[in-house]
Amino acid sequence: MFRVFILFGFAFYLMQLHVTGDISKYINMKYSYLSQAAMIAAFLLGLVQLIMIFRDEDLVQDHTHMGHTHDGENTFWKKILVYGLLVYPLVAGFMFPIATLNSTIVDAKGFHFPKNNAAGDDPYAMNQFLKPDTSGYFGKSDYEKMIAKEKAEIIHDNPIKVTDANYLMTMEIIYSYPGEFEGKQIEFTGFVYNDPVTKGANLFVFRFGIIHCVADSGVYGMLVHMPDGENDLSNDTWVKVSGVIEQEYYAPFKMDIPAVKVTKYGEIPKPKDVYVYRKY
């Protein structure tokens, strides 16, 4: 019977995530059909298990009266361990609030350019920062065709308007072809991170993004230079900035990176969905 409760528990938990919309905090919604399939499968397996319990109730009782095994105690503790591991994510999911990633994560982990990532060339092991990099999920020729097609969609825009839908795509293209976007106008939103290296009127504007699921999530955005040396913005303040794309040498990375010379900015309310997702 305990298996029934666990299966129905997972089904109800997944249903709750979809009803509340919190499922978007864990996966790219492009793959929401997978979690929906898992929810339906858990419901069906729970029903099958329930039917089997009632159907075989007499048979189970007969086996109970026929005798006992000598490893009953070991089996008991194994069940406690297995069921405990299965119950824990349900208890955590239903009882603990969902945390939203913010600048404290950046402070704790720091950020670095993908080429300096200690995880090497394994795209499934690295935590991505600053520049989205989906090249590891495609063959080389397929990736080059995809990125070239996406670049053609925005290269002639001026200003380049970065939305939730195209945020990761646009950042990946700008970082991949910085020279071709230098001098262009850009508008984008994100939360403020005051990097202790840049200081002064320089800060980063970031969004947390999910490429496939939260396991490959990262913080993506650009270094921005505020106008007239202004910077009274604290971490996690949400802003919309407009400015001109330029390149500059960033000492911690020992390389040139795209940056934005801000001409206009303003604080905005925190969006309902703070994450952005990679569209293909």
Q: Where are the domains of the chain?
A: 2-95, 103-277
**Mean pLDDT on 169-192:** 93
User: Model confidence over 96-138: pLDDT tens digits?
Assistant: 766 666 666 666 566 655 544 444 444 444 456 788 888 887 8
More confident residue, 30 or 153: 153
Query: What is the distance between the terminal CA atoms of the chain, rounded to a whole angstrom?
Result: 43
| CA quadruple 186, 257, 127, 33: dihedral sign | positive
| Strand, coil or helix: 262 | strand
Q: Which residues on adjacent β-strands are paired with residue 218?
A: 209
| Strand, coil or helix: 247 | strand
Contacts of 54 by beta carbon, 8 Å cutoff, 6+ apart: none
pTM of the model: 0.69
Rounded Cα gap, residues 12 and 157, in angstroms: 45
Fold category of 103-277 in CATH: OB fold (Dihydrolipoamide Acetyltransferase, E2P) (2.40.50)
Q: How open is the CA angle 217-24-130, to the nearest 5 degrees?
A: 25
Cis status of the peptide bond prior to 159, with omega within 30 of 0: yes
* Mean pLDDT, the chain, integer: 79
